Structure 1
């Protein structure tokens, strides 16, 4: 569930700047001072932290411009008397209510709004995805079958699979790691790949290229193990997230929340 947080896009902020002399002492404790109104440096730091993009001079400047833009718009709205306009007031109240609705519902779900029975039913549906055998597998992906055959010949002749994967594989996610896909279940891979993978023994490589929609694979299984099925408690956040993507479920839960609120309320 996405939080409803009103923001102004950085791209908009980047098109607007403010000029004027700012004293060094003011800038020491504030990100900016706009027409005499200070924007605290702590507000800028919080905005950057919430962005999850780390911190660098370019990002700080863009974030600072955004805060300046917000303050300019706020000041202009006051100057034009828009905050006393009935239509504007109604829209602001509606926006505030929308934010509160989302926040209250999210908190309701987080604080036990999902029953144990619901969690268990959802858990039973997905736990089979974790059962069975996991494979520690590597592959080299190339476009042409002839290239894959040549790679198989080189590996049989003594060249290292990992080195050839780094130099030749078209899979950007695994090439740098010597073709390592880490631990995978057959369900997580395309059928052509998984069918061959499960037939290999530990340490064995495919004798022939394996064709899939992505190209031709050379596959090697380094190890295998029984998959560990996470318990319900471990998967609880993912289960709730999964259920929350169902609009019918969301609607039913929201109605349930309202029913509970009304049952506790004193309404005359």
Structure 2
């Protein structure tokens, strides 16, 4: 599948941490959280955004000792995100920058629905995150507005010339050495030990450490047996790999493609998975179930690619996109700092951060990658 399209969808899905969803219960305070130049940020907006950050960071999996610190950080991120969003929306409204329903629909059709695989992945994403398509549309609208805003306000400062792209390539040729890569399919029977322990403890909070270890070992043994059974079926009839992957693999993003992971560069894959795939000849099944930090894999290797130097023609589009993102990020951060320095911002006492505010978190700021979220960002400036 087209790598650019995969990155695009992954990026768009990643920014869903900025919209939709609900917080678990109230966070205290009144119905008004803050005002920004007279525009009110409501508690409903705050709870909604905080809830998205909670889901994105998988707060339920965070050790109890760290939850208080993370809670303070998420509150700070939530407030910063909403303040910046309010400043952007106000300025966009003044200057006539907007996104229509037709633009949202057109973008989805062109970037998601025209590709059957991405369309299926999109459905899986909505289901896993208990999202309605309208929630995704709201996220996409906000992202498209942000891109329009940065292009309109940034002007030449956010444009990337052909000479800049070529100059970057020439000065960083070593960065475009592509390592060995492997194209593989897999079926995953998930067995992540910390998650299994958490599930066991939920069922018996008073369980001893010794009994916990026994229960985890027994659960992993059952999951290994499930993987072994699937492997036996596939070995007897290799043609059913894709069908069994779609029905059984617990890696949803590859399952919809019959287990296809695409080309994976060395160093980006679990070491145990890579070691097994690396020694498997093209077109063959690895002779057994492979255990990794994620669980148990049944692996079929489709191709091996030797290391090579990426040409300028191959690299230029990605270089341009990365440079564009960097310029827009720098512009937005500078713009946000300037706006906040002159804006009248009043935050209700119950919502004031305990620590000094970080620089423009969320949109246009530095945010740690949430657990399980895709790191690539949406293509900037395309709408």
Given the two structures, how large is their TM-score scaled by the length of structure 2?
0.36
Tell which structure's C-alpha radius of gyration is larger.
Answer: 1
Higher RCO (Cα < 8 Å, 6 or more apart)? 2
